[in-house]
């Protein structure tokens, strides 16, 4: 692929340092130039294997041909009108498709937005309108976004809240069950019960928000029994159960949505990231009575449900039907589980491998007996992996979990090459 010979990682890094706000600037001084499926080439022409997928945005890989074609076709027809001014086919077609595949209670309706955080913001608005209540309860380790309301909802302070002053009120927290770190399901449910008694009484609680698999919080799946208990508690008190599938949705866990593993039906769901395989779009999907609870023109925005992004969503859903993406996710998860199990047996610092389909992670610890988190080792693993040509991410409350978000469509030889890089670095760590 031809490129400007004056553009390089070094020249772009100089521009970044001069013009990009420090809080928004990536610490990575390799700049993506072009990509295909699970491979990215930087501005100097170096090839990288992508195990991050734009933080879970590229379950179908970089530039899936069907998605690219759909976007190009849409650009030839219509780029923008603002759907609240003059609606268009793509928005209503995406709403129809999402209402058909999303496991909420009863007939579903949809609103589209631009980002995961925006979807969560609107879910709070809708929950308050539907219940006439103000409070929301979230969970330790949860991540919901970087807008003010979603920062308040996050179950981790830094780096999201620290510099920005007081957070919005009426947001309360309960424990998320992570037995490996000493929080068992019974304790988590008891903590939620206390939250409802001491901080947010049921008659003032509009909704409980939960990720069925913690994303930034460490890739810990909520046990199905825990999800069932939440559904029961919400039903007893007239509280809405809202499931955040922004990172776990669209095939990442081997099902279209992670909540399907529990067998429950939430009242609302939020989704984004891989729903358009790289184009910016998000959605709130909920039962019709709930979604219709706010007044005319109370939901929306200038770019919400962009025609171009809608075209990408429709193409993504066709790919799921045509290419057995869910089966691919399940098989990828099995390969990752097998390899992580080998690392756990071989290296004293590797422990707690876990996965829900291809949403997989392991922990770096001081020892298996102490389970003391080692975020320094995680940082070193990421650094050395990048030097060897692999893009990798950490996560977790302690920063010591290594997560896998490579495209579900990754080729076997590219997958093995990336896993071999991780293994070679693990062998080098103290």
- CATH 3.40.640.10, domain 68-322, yes or no: yes
Given a contact cutoff of 8 angstroms between Cβ atoms, the answer to whether 388 and 425 are in contact is: yes
pLDDT at 104: 96
Protein fold of 9-51+324-428: 3.90.1150
- Residue 15: other Cβ atoms inside 10 A: 11
Q: Where are the domains of the chain?
A: 9-51+324-428, 68-322
pLDDT at 430: 85
Residue 260 DSSP SS3: helix
Q: For residue 225, what is the DSSP state?
A: H
Q: Is the pLDDT of residue 398 over 90?
A: yes
pLDDT band at 161 (very low <50, low <70, confident <90, very high): confident
pLDDT band at 3 (very low <50, low <70, confident <90, very high): low
pLDDT in tens, 76-100: 999 999 999 999 999 999 999 999 9
Q: Same CATH topology for 9-51+324-428 and 68-322?
A: no
Q: Span 51-61, mean pLDDT?
A: 98
pLDDT band at 310 (very low <50, low <70, confident <90, very high): very high
Which pair of structure tokens corresponds to residue 205? Answer: 């609680």
Q: Is the pLDDT of residue 101 over 70?
A: yes
Q: Span 214-237, mean pLDDT?
A: 97
Q: Is 324 left (phi over 0), alpha (psi -120 to 50) or beta?
A: left
Q: Is the pLDDT of residue 2 over 70?
A: no
**Percentage of the chain modeled with pLDDT above 90:** 94
Q: Span 103-121, mean pLDDT?
A: 97
């Amino acid at each position: 692929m031809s490129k400007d010979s004056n553009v390089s990682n070094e020249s772009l890094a100089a521009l970044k340092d001069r013009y990009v706000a420090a809080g928004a600037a990536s610490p990575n001084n390799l700049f993506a130039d072009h990509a295909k499926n699970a491979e990215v080439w930087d501005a100097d022409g170096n090839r990288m294997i992508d195990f991050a997928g734009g933080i879970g945005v590229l379950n179908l890989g970089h530039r899936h041909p069907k998605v690219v074609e759909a976007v190009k076709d849409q650009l030839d027809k219509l780029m923008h009108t603002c759907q609240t001014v003059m609606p268009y086919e793509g928005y209503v077609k995406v709403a129809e498709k999402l209402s058909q595949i999303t496991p909420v209670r009863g007939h579903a309706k949809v609103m589209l937005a631009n980002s995961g955080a925006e979807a969560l913001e609107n879910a709070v608005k809708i929950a308050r309108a539907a219940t006439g209540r103000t409070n929301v309860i979230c969970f330790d380790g949860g991540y919901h976004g970087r807008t003010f309301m979603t920062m308040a909802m996050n179950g981790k302070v830094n780096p999201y809240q620290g510099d920005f002053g007081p957070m919005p009120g009426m947001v309360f927290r309960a424990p998320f069950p992570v037995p490996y770190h000493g929080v068992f399901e019974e304790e988590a449910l008891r903590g939620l019960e206390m939250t409802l008694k001491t901080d947010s009484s049921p008659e003032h609680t509009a909704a409980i928000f939960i990720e069925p698999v913690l994303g930034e919080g460490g890739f810990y799946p909520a046990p199905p029994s825990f999800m069932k208990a939440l559904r029961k508690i919400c039903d007893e008190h007239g509280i809405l159960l809202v499931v955040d599938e922004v990172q776990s949705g669209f095939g990442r866990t081997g099902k279209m949505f992670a909540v399907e593993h529990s067998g429950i039906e939430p009242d609302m769901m939020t989704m984004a990231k891989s729903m358009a395989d790289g184009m910016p779009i998000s959605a709130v999907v909920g039962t019709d009575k709930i979604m219709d609870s706010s007044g005319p023109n109370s939901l929306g925005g200038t770019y919400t449900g962009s025609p171009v992004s809608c075209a990408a969503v429709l193409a993504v859903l066709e790919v799921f039907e045509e290419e057995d993406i869910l089966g691919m996710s399940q098989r990828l998860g099995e390969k990752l589980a097998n390899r992580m199990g080998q690392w756990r047996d071989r290296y004293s610092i590797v422990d707690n491998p876990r996965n829900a389909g291809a949403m997989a992670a392991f922990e770096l610890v001081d020892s298996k007996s102490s389970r003391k988190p080692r975020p320094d080792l995680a940082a070193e693993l990421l650094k050395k992996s990048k030097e060897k040509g692999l893009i990798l991410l950490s996560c977790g409350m302690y920063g010591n979990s290594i997560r896998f978000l490579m495209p579900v469509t990754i080729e076997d030889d590219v997958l093995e090459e990336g896993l071999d890089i991780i293994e070679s670095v693990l062998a080098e760590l103290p």
